[in-house]
Amino acid sequence: MRFHFLFIFGIFFLACPDPTTDSELSPISNQQFTYHQDVNQLYYGVEVEDRYETQALSQVKVNWYATTRNNPPDTLMLYDDGTNGDIIMGDGFYGLKITNDSTTIQNRLGDDSGYVFLDYLAIYGTETVIVLDSFRIGNIIPRIVSISAPDTIVRPSDATVSLHLISAEVFDADGLQTIKMVGFTSYHVDGDSMMNNGNYLYLHDDGSNVVLYEPDFTSGDLVQGDGIYSFRIPVYGTGFSDPDFQTKPGSFLWRFLTQDQSNEYSKVIEHAILIQ
């Protein structure tokens, strides 16, 4: 069996006894790779000619190394039958979509940035053409690591205000400096309505060094720049008669998310809380 290797920065021909033109070395084109972070899936696609040097195409595969070619590759079959991530049957474009987890591949992507490496293989009888390729991973969406919030809050029984620290730890593979905002909305389950007109309550990673409201109200955040965003929410006691200074009781769903500078959002993390 002969192997023809094509590199993205040059074309190399190995183990071939006769000279071969560039056109003969190009049955593979339009290589594609996409990391669908929102659903944790990987997509591979490539256009392949159905014949090469008089031999018919029998298989199209990809060797997947993830972030380094030092990894033993996962060898995956690509399809042109309208299944397994392929879109149109018989159009000469071979595709595969798989879940990015250990049940499918050994070389999984995690909180990785930079480049991924893979080979596209087209097998024609005794001939195998291989394109060595790499793709830069696009912006990695941020994620919320954990939420720190009570399950139950009891309102003061007089005309006082209690403060409750709410925190969310976030992570972005591109660096915490790319985090644009962290916040949550509050949905009143009993009343089927959004609190604060549906606007976000923003959390801060400022170490309480910024006065948010005069004269001296700060976020309550403990350490600046540690990736833990916080805010002390005020809970008004039942002794207040002014509607502007009352906290509604009931069951709530707090929906946390974070956004990066590329305007990509994390998955929403929900937290159920009861205010009595």
3-class secondary-structure state, position 195: helix
Structure tokens at 47: 């256009």
Structure tokens at 27: 């049955």
Q: What is the mean pLDDT of residues 72-96?
A: 97
Structure tokens at 103: 């049940």
For residue 229, count CB atoms less than 10 angstroms from its CB and return exposed for 0-12, middle for 13-18, buried for 19 or more: buried
**What pLDDT digit, counting tens, does each position of 190-200 carry?**
999 999 999 99
Rounded CA gap, 117 and 110, in Å? Answer: 15
Query: Taking the model in full, what pTM does it have?
Result: 0.71
Q: Say if residues 265 and 255 touch (Cβ distance below 8 Å).
A: no
Nearest to 61 by CA among 72, 74, 70: 74
Q: Say if residues 275 and 249 touch (Cβ distance below 8 Å).
A: yes
In order of 92, 185, 246, the CA distances from 58 in angstroms are 12, 54, 72
Q: Domains in the chain, please, with CATH?
A: 2-136 (2.60.40.10), 143-275 (2.60.40.10)
Rounded CA gap, 60 and 109, in Å? Answer: 23
Q: Say if residues 273 and 246 touch (Cβ distance below 8 Å).
A: no
**What pLDDT digit, counting tens, does each position of 183-236 carry?**
999 999 999 999 999 999 999 999 999 999 999 999 999 999 999 999 999 999
Report the DSSP beta bridge partners of residue 92.
none
**What pLDDT digit, counting tens, does each position of 4-39 carry?**
555 543 322 233 333 333 445 679 999 999 999 889
